[in-house]
Amino acid sequence: MEVERVQALSLGGLNELPAQFVRPAHERPENSKAVEGISVPVISLSQPAEILVKEIYNACSQWGFFLITEHGISPSLICRLQDVGQEFFKLPQEEKEKYANDPSSGKFEEEYAEELLKVTDVLLELLSEGLGLERKALKSSLRGEEIELEMKINMYPPCPQPQLALGVEPHTDMSALTILVPNDVPGLQVWKDDNWVAVDYIPNALFVHVGDQIEVLSNEKYKSVLHRSLVNKDRLRMSWAVFCTPPLDASIGPLPQLVNDENPSKYSTKTYEEYRYRKFNKIPQ
């Protein structure tokens, strides 16, 4: 029997969570609460380059995650992006299924993509400099202008028993970088020093996740952030995530400049396609 879509279940007026959505006891939010009093890094891109390099290096090596402000993308454009996502989820189920099953729907061409590519270029240059490399090193390793952007819109409807469920289970992203815009309902948590840390909403900020490919290229100097998403009892949570990835046939491995006798290679070189296959099928990398 096909499992009903979460949105359809929510609209049916649930009072109790269906068994298939109840997480194992050790994963439930009620048993793994976020630590209080810790804030994730927030970095303004308007700062001088030397400060940005240091702040982003620290954020990526210690957290694998940070928020950016003053990034140059207008608040009105972000609002339009969010409007498109909200309108999508108001479509009849049959129409939504057509989009969900269309392989091309993950790729998009519009003004937001152009602006996001500019931000991605800046971040990759700063990340490269933080590693002591030439500014274009990481972008070139991801195949430069062939870098692909894929968008995923996540919708987490109100949940009658949020203490028992997760919107998304703990995971790292396969991408090089993930740049995300949420609505104002909190829920994202990142793993830091053996604790979950809740990420506060900041209007118009972009949430930046270091993904697996940057961790590999940096030979683990930068960490791919483990994160999860919670659900809310009363409010709808949404997020607009853009995954910045190399082409499937790009070979990704630790950059030679970062490998030596004291710091040997921690990963084998493989195509992004093979990496994805191994991760999807839970095969060691």
Residues with a catalytic annotation lie at 152, 171, 173, 227
Question: In angstroms, rounded to a whole number, what is the distance separating the alpha carbons of residues 242 and 5?
Answer: 22
**Between the CA atoms of 168, 250, 99 and 101, what dihedral angle is there, to the nearest 10 degrees?**
-80
Neighbours of 131 (CB within 10 A): 21
Question: Distance between alpha carbon 253 and the CA centroid of its chain, in Å?
Answer: 21
Q: What is the DSSP secondary-structure string of 29-95?
A: GGGSPPBSS----EEETTS-HHHHHHHHHHHHHHTSEEEEES-S--HHHHHHHHHHHHHHTTS-HHH
Question: In angstroms, rounded to a whole number, what is the distance separating the alpha carbons of residues 85 and 112?
Answer: 13
Closest by Cα among 160, 188, 170, 163 to 13: 160
- Which of the 8 DSSP states describes residue 199? P
- Strands lying side by side in the sheet with 188-192: 168-171, 227-229, 188-192, 195-198
* Residue with token string 């952007």: 149
- Which of the 8 DSSP states describes residue 142? T
